[in-house]
Amino acid sequence: MRWIEVGRSLELKGSIKIPGSKNSALALLAAACLADEPVTLLGIPSIADIKVISQIGREIGLIISSDRPGEVRVDPRYIEHACIDPHKSSTFRTAYYFIGALLAKFGKVSVGYPGGDDFVHRPIDQHIKALTMMGARFTFHNDYYEVEAAQLKGTTIYFDTITSGATINSMLAAVRAQGCTVLQNAARDPEVTDTANFLNQMGAKITGAGTDTIRIEGVSHLTSCTYTVIPDRLIAGAFLISAGITNGTVTVQDVIPEHLTSCIHKLQEIGLHVEAGDNFVTAHSTGIVRATRVRAAMYPGFPTDLQQPLTALLTQASGKSIVADTVFQNRFNHAYQLKRMGADIKIRSGVAFIKGGTRLKGAYVHASDIRAGICLILAGLAADGTTSIAGVHHIERGYENVVEAFSSLGANIAFRDSDDALEPVAEG
């Protein structure tokens, strides 16, 4: 068994280069299947989810090679079939992008039900609605489902709820569909825009990505290109929050500061001094941590994926904070773990009420998903004693070298496994 041990670590200091975005990279790797020629992707993070999607790709005949870290060459010319391993599909969220990416070429795709972080209920009804409106037919089996379409046809789709996954999947399907597809009430997330930019660079005709109306004119051929994935705004946000909880100063480099706008404003409201340049953001603790209200919402709202790390910081605020998540209403597994560390949090009707100012103490805790894991690392940095975090495989789905990155800022943090001597990590 492996776990992460964190010792109290105050005043983190330094700079972190932010890797490419997990959520974008997953979409781009699937999108590469639409091309008729090899493409090169730069900035692809080395994380578990990418390894699984690459394995799936290889199993269907996609040739994926890499000469340098982050650089991935994808040759889609020899894809043989579109039967995606149901077991592997269920170990991460976005195997469904293979539907959008392969349906036009193969006429039939089979795929397992989506996995990923478990927030009780993550429906895919908007994917089904959009693809059905474009002419696809779904058949559901116990462990997998099949999607068939002799010819996808463009149409106007109004999403009942704003979803980045269904927006990206529909855009992928529309790229090689006949005629024009219009996506209304579309997600405006940077990962949607990134996918559209990559597709356009291959020759797709997509306009409006980044707004709530996206138009896609179907094309019959997509060419080779080299494209760099956007930086991971969610990793960047978590490191900025780490400055607040440790009373330190942390710079995130190679970021697009505009993608962090809601996070920057929230941290300023809480009391941090935040400075943004062309491609960096620095968060500097002023020693003040004010309580606040957070309503996690779809982009450009405060990201649900930063709600958990921010909650760790709010346990140290002066006063009572209120956190609601309008995207995943039950995304509070981390709160129960924080309570084991001494935090005073009550969850009522999908809202977390956090009484700040409690002294956290190290405990055995479990990361139930990626961001819960990062939340617990942050809490561990502020806690007395040693915090032992199990569920490391969840964290590794989304974070590259998380232990090395925090160590480089001065954190007392280490991987442990059952063979290690049970020496606690040092206290700062």
Ligand X SMILES: C=C(OP(=O)(O)O)C(=O)O
Choose, from 117, 189, 232, 369, the residue flagged as catalytic.
117
Write down the residue that tokens 């609601």 correspond to: 324
Residue 112 binds which entry of ligand X, ligand UD1, none, with Cβ cut-offs from 5 to 8 Å by kind?
Answer: none
The site string for ligand X over 375-404 (x = CB under 6 A, - otherwise) reads -----------------------x------
Candidates 20, 43, 116, 248; binder of ligand X (CB under 6 A) is: 116
- Of 165 and 257, CB closest to ligand UD1: 165
CB nearer to ligand UD1: give 134 or 383.
Answer: 134
Q: Is 22 annotated as a binding residue?
A: yes
Least Å from the CB of residue 405 to ligand UD1: 19
Residue 426, classed as helix, strand or coil, is: coil
Bridge partners of 314, per DSSP, are: none
* Residues within window 88-107 making contact with ligand X, judged by CB under 6 A: 92-93
Q: Judged by CB under 6 A, does residue 370 bind ligand X?
A: yes
Of the candidates 342, 285, 345, 281, which has an alpha carbon nearest to the alpha carbon of residue 311?
345
Q: Counting contacts by CB under 6 A, is residue 127 touching ligand X? A: no
Nearer to ligand X, 7 or 114 (CB): 114
- Residue (of 57, 56, 29, 59) closest to 42 by Cα position: 29
Task: Considering the complex, state which of residue 259 and residue 371 has its C-beta at the smaller distance from ligand X.
Answer: 371
**Dist CA 411 CA 242 (whole Å):** 10
When CB distances are held under 5 to 8 angstroms depending on the partner's kind, the choice from ligand X, ligand UD1, none that residue 398 binds is ligand X
85 binds ligand X (CB under 6 A): no
- What Rg do the C-alpha atoms of the chain give, in angstroms? 22
Residues 296-335 that bind ligand X (CB under 6 A): 305
Interacting partner of 106 out of ligand UD1, ligand X, none (Cβ under 5 to 8 A depending on kind) = none
Does 23 count as an annotated binding residue?
yes
| Residue 326 beta carbon to ligand X: minimum distance, rounded to whole angstroms | 15
Q: Is 26 helix (H, G, I), strand (E, B) or coil?
A: helix
**Does the annotation list 122 as a binding residue?**
yes
To the question of whether residue 305 is assigned a binding role by annotation, the answer is: yes
Give the nearer residue to ligand X in terms of CB position, either 76 or 116. 116
The DSSP code sequence of 74-109 is EEGGG----B--HHHHTTSSGGGHHHHHHHHHHSEE
| DSSP 8-state code for residue 355 | E
Residue nearest ligand UD1, CB atom distance: 165
417 is in an annotated binding site: no
Helix 304-314 with 333-340: angle, nearest 10 deg: 20
Residue 224 to residues 53, 127, 143, 353, Cα–Cα distance (Å): 20, 27, 35, 51
Q: Are 42 and 69 in contact (CB under 8 A)?
A: no
Residue 211 binds which entry of ligand UD1, ligand X, none, with Cβ cut-offs from 5 to 8 Å by kind? none
Which residue, 2 or 122, has its beta carbon nearer to ligand UD1? 122
In the complex, the residues that contact ligand UD1 under the rule CB under 6 A are 23, 26, 93-94, 122-127, 161, 163-166, 187, 304-305, 327-328
Asked about 117 being catalytic, the answer comes back as yes
Unique residue bearing structure tokens 């979409």? 27
Whole-number Å distance between alpha carbons of 308 and 378? 10
Q: Is 93 annotated as a binding residue?
A: yes
Residue 300 annotated in ligand binding: no
Is 79 assigned to a binding site? no
Q: Which amino acid, residue 99?
A: I
Which runs of consecutive H residues, i.e. helices, occur in 247-368? 261-270, 304-314, 333-340
Distance CA 293, CA 299 (A): 17
The gap from C-alpha 267 to its chain's centroid, in whole angstroms, comes to 20
**CB-based burial label for 165 (10 Å; 0-12, 13-18, 19+):** buried
Q: Which is nearer to ligand X, 53 or 109 (CB)?
A: 53
- x/- binding map, residues 197-236, to ligand X, per CB under 6 A? ----------------------------------------
d(C-alpha 346, C-alpha 422), whole Å: 33
CB 395 within 8 A of CB 422: no
The answer to the question of whether 124 is labelled as a binding residue is yes
Q: Which residues are part of the catalytic machinery?
A: 117
Binding residues for UDP-N-acetyl-alpha-D-glucosamine: 93, 122-126, 305, 327
Binding residues for phosphoenolpyruvate: 22-23
Binding interface with ligand X (CB under 6 A): 92-93, 116-117, 305, 370-371, 398
